[in-house]
């Protein structure tokens, strides 16, 4: 799988991105003013109905209109052309032909009288063939701009689609409006929307993915595996975790790390499989402690920002701004404009330049350098920032296998939370990717506390082929439902009158999603004993927790039931509490023996003290 995906729309699929061309024959452009309105009707399929509504006003002397030509990118069928007279449609003749890039339509008005100040209106209806790319659960549609000439007064576009296909997942422009009309939704675009030449609309509320990891192993192999995390915008289901890891944990950055030590000669493979639902990566709130914030501010290898030239540029970009959001926006735009994507480089073999290296060599960047420079400059400006690594859907590469390894970034703003940005794709596609990343980005891990770890392993054995180890693909639907099945029970308790009690809890996850165990609360009469846990329980595994109870907690509970509440978080369903009951069985035999021993010691000590006092008096 190729590393560091990029989207170079204008070069890779030109059929979508050629402009609409419109010309009036035998009439100078300065003599006519044209208003062009285009409406696209998207349904569940790949074809799109389209209507071009054109109004032309004669600005000079009377003339006769012979013909006009419109060149439409793509393949057009079912064409009909109508002249509009007093609200009535009159079909008029045309000739059309297809070349490699355009469908060309010559419309014949047959010397239609066109008086000074007169406006004529005509329509061209048709069907754009195979103009929607369906990838998994998402629909990609490119809206073409138009070559502007002096005769074109305005260019307006509407994209109409049924709500059942989902909402706007990604829109490459910030200049648009949305109208709801019953069961349909309309995106309205104007001249300003096409300042980058085209508009990409991605429809669908979320994307679905299948993923698997398969590593060859043998007895004696030790190592760690990283599995996709749950985030606010990404929820994961696991169908296989074989064999179960020897240990696992969630690190400071939120990554799920699984540790393996293969001791069984019959185990020759680690196989992890699952599905994920990914929503658009809009900003999301996440609690960040002051300690964590400091971790995301430090300078690190590849995130260097202490050179004079970098610090001066940071000051220039941020000195007059107050919020992290505004500062990061300026830094982001600078990175997008300064760096150049090195398309010709062998990305798999190249060394990582880091922020310092790409600052000196800005024409030699790939996604890693775009992210590194943004993170470094953000941190240099006092803005917490971190790296995000994963996979992205790049339909320009191979529609059958569109996933590419990719890197982007997030920064922290107190009012917004974590904000995702992709300077690489903004640079290569000219689309808007500042706090505007759709579900085509699949997160595999974060790097914030370190610029070099964790690392996604490629192989554990020399004879393993890394190309087959990690697979991920978008799918139209997840075939199974999330199952959250967490239980708790007391494995045992050691309680002694006067000494305290230790409970051993077993929290078992029989479901297919990761359980986040936040805390354990034990109700003892009118008292509550709480213990913070902050650990995860992977599917098909369990977690043992020890809870110590002191003397005060045990005053009224001898041989009585106590209620145990395990407070967890389900990434698919939110906060959930797992309840169970336990009886504290106090052990008295040892206490009696211990009491006798203590009593003997006390009596002995008292006797010795008394004898010593008598001796002192006799001296």
Q: State the burial class of residue 89 (Cβ atoms within 10 Å of its Cβ: 0-12, 13-18, 19+).
A: middle
- How confident is the model at residue 105, as a pLDDT? 94
pLDDT of residue 87: 86
The least confident of 13-27, 148-162, 401-415, 467-481 is 13-27
DSSP single-letter state for residue 29: G
- Give the model's pLDDT for residue 16: 38
Helices assigned H by DSSP within 320-473 = 324-338, 354-360, 367-380, 423-429
Taking all residues of the chain, what is their mean pLDDT, rounded to a whole number? 87
Label residues 287-304 b or e (16+ Cβ within 10 Å = b): eeeeebeebbbeebebbb
Per-residue model confidence (pLDDT) at position 534? 93
* pTM exceeds 0.85, yes or no: yes
CATH architecture assignment, domain 14-203: Sandwich (2.60)
Which is more confident, 500 or 233?
233
Asked if the domains 14-203 and 486-583 are classified in one and the same CATH topology, the answer is yes
Say whether pLDDT at 597 is over 70: no
Among 506-510, 530-534, 604-608, whose mean pLDDT is lowest?
A: 604-608
For the cut 70, the answer to whether the pLDDT of residue 595 exceeds it is no
**For 236-261, what is each residue's pLDDT tens digit?**
999 999 999 999 999 999 999 999 99
Q: Are the C-beta atoms of 130 and 103 separated by less than 8 Å?
A: no
Choice among 12-26, 399-413, 525-539, 572-586 with the minimum mean pLDDT: 12-26
Q: How sure is the predictor about 9, in pLDDT bands with cuts at 50, 70 and 90?
A: very low
Tokens of 456: 């996604």
pLDDT digits (tens, 9 = 90+) for 428-457: 988 999 999 999 999 999 999 999 999 988
In words, the CATH class of domain 486-583 is mainly beta
Q: Residue 25: left (phi > 0), alpha (psi -120 to 50), or beta?
A: beta
**What percentage of the chain reaches a pLDDT higher than 90?**
64
Question: pLDDT class for 147, splitting at 50, 70, 90?
Answer: confident
Pairing relationship of beta strands 152-162 and 32-42 according to DSSP bridges:
parallel
Higher pLDDT, 610 or 212: 212
Q: Contact 125/78 with Cβ under 8 angstroms?
A: yes
Instruction: Count other Cβ atoms within 10 Å, centred on residue 469.
Output: 19
pLDDT at 536 > cutoff 60: yes
Positions of E strands within 395-457 = 403-413, 417-421, 441-447
How confident is the model at residue 109, as a pLDDT?
Answer: 92
Flag the least confident range among 3-7, 56-60, 375-379: 3-7
Q: Where are the domains of the chain?
A: 14-203, 207-278, 290-437, 486-583
Contact 101, 48 (CB under 8 A): no
Radius of gyration of the chain (CA): 34
Class of domain 290-437: alpha beta
| pLDDT at residue 7 is higher than 50 | no
124-to-107, 112, 113, 413, 446 alpha-carbon distances in Å:
9, 17, 20, 49, 50
Helices 308-318 and 367-380, packing angle to 10 deg: 70
Q: How far, in Å, CA of 455 to CA of 224, rounded? A: 9
pLDDT tens digits along 291-314: 578 889 999 999 999 999 999 999
Cis-peptide, bond into residue 454, ω within 30° of zero? yes
Q: Is the model more confident about 493 or about 434?
A: 434
Q: Is the pLDDT of residue 235 over 70?
A: yes
Inform me whether the pLDDT recorded for 15 exceeds 50: no
Give the chain's length.
619
Instruction: State yes or no: cis peptide before 243, omega within 30 of 0.
Output: yes
Token digits for 588? 């008295």
Confidence of residue 499 (pLDDT cuts 50, 70, 90): low
What is residue 617's predicted lDDT score, i.e. its pLDDT? 61
Higher pLDDT, 148 or 200: 200
Chain center to CA of 525: 46
Percent of the chain that is helix, strand, coil (3-state, to 5) = 20, 45, 35
| 330 DSSP 8-state letter | H
Greater pLDDT, 114 or 549:
114
Burial of 467 (C-beta count, 10 Å sphere; 0-12/13-18/19+): exposed
- Which pLDDT score is estimated for 10? 31
Q: CA–CA distance from 345 to each of 3, 251, 423, 472, 492 (Å)?
A: 11, 33, 18, 24, 61
Tell me what the mean pLDDT of segment 455-476 comes to: 88
**Model confidence at 96: pLDDT above 80:** yes
pLDDT at 288: 59
């Amino acid at each position: 799988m190729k590393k560091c995906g990029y989207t170079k729309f204008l070069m890779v699929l030109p059929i979508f991105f050629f402009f609409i061309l419109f010309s009036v024959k035998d009439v100078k452009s300065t003599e006519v003013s044209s208003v062009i309105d285009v409406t696209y009707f998207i349904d569940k399929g790949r074809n799109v109905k389209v209507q071009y509504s054109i109004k032309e006003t004669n600005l000079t002397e009377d003339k006769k209109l012979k013909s006009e030509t419109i060149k439409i990118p793509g393949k057009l069928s079912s064409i009909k052309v109508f002249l509009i007279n007093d609200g009535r449609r009159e079909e008029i003749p045309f000739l059309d032909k297809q070349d490699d890039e355009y469908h060309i339509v010559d419309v014949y008005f047959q010397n239609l009288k066109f008086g000074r100040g007169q406006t004529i209106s005509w329509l061209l209806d048709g069907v754009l063939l195979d103009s929607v790319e369906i990838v998994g659960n998402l629909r990609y549609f490119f809206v073409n701009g138009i070559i502007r000439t002096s005769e074109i007064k305005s260019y307006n576009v509407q994209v109409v689609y049924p709500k059942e296909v989902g909402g706007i997942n990604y829109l490459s422009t910030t200049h648009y409006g949305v109208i709801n009309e019953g069961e349909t939704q309309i995106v309205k675009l104007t001249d300003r929307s096409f300042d980058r030449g085209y508009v990409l609309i991605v429809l669908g509320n979320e994307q679905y993915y299948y993923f698997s990891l398969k590593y060859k192993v043998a007895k004696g192999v030790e190592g760690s595996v990283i599995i996709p995390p749950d985030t606010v915008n990404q929820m994961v289901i696991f169908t296989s975790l074989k064999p179960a890891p020897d240990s696992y944990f969630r690190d400071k950055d939120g990554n799920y790390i699984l540790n393996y030590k293969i001791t069984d000669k019959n185990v020759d493979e680690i196989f992890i499989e699952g599905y994920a639902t990914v929503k658009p990566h809009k900003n999301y709130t996440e609690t960040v402690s002051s300690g964590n914030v400091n971790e995301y501010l430090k300078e690190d290898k590849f995130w260097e920002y202490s050179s004079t030239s970098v610090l001066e540029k940071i000051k220039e970009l941020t000195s007059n701004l107050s919020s992290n959001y505004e500062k990061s926006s300026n830094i982001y735009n600078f990175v997008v404009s300064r760096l150049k994507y090195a398309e010709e480089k062998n990305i798999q073999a190249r060394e990582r330049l880091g922020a310092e290296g790409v600052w000196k060599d800005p024409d030699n960047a790939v996604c890693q350098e775009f992210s590194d420079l943004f993170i470094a400059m953000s941190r240099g400006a006092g803005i917490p920032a971190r790296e995000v690594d994963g996979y992205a859907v790049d339909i320009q590469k191979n529609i059958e296998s569109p996933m590419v390894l990719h890197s982007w970034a997030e920064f922290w703003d107190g009012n917004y939370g974590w904000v995702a940005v992709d300077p690489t794709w903004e640079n290569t596609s000219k689309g808007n990717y500042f706090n505007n990343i759709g579900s085509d980005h699949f997160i595999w891990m974060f790097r914030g506390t370190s610029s070099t770890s964790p690392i996604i392993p490629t192989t554990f054995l020399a004879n393993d082929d890394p190309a087959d180890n990690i697979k991920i693909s978008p799918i139209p639907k997840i075939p199974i439902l999330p199952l959250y099945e967490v239980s708790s029970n007391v494995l045992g308790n050691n309680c002694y009158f006067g000494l305290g009690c230790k409970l051993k809890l077993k929290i078992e996850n029989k479901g297919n999603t990761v359980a986040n165990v936040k805390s354990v609360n034990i109700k003892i009469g009118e008292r509550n004993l709480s213990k913070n846990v902050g650990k995860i329980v992977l599917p098909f595994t369990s977690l043992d927790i020890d809870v110590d109870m002191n003397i005060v907690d045990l005053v009224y509970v001898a041989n009585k039931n106590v209620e145990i509440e395990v407070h967890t978080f389900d990434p698919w369903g939110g906060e959930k509490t797992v309840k169970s009951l336990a009886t504290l069985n106090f052990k008295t035999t040892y206490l009696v023996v211990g009491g006798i021993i203590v009593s003997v010691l006390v009596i002995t000590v008292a006797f010795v003290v008394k004898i010593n006092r008598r001796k002192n008096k006799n001296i």
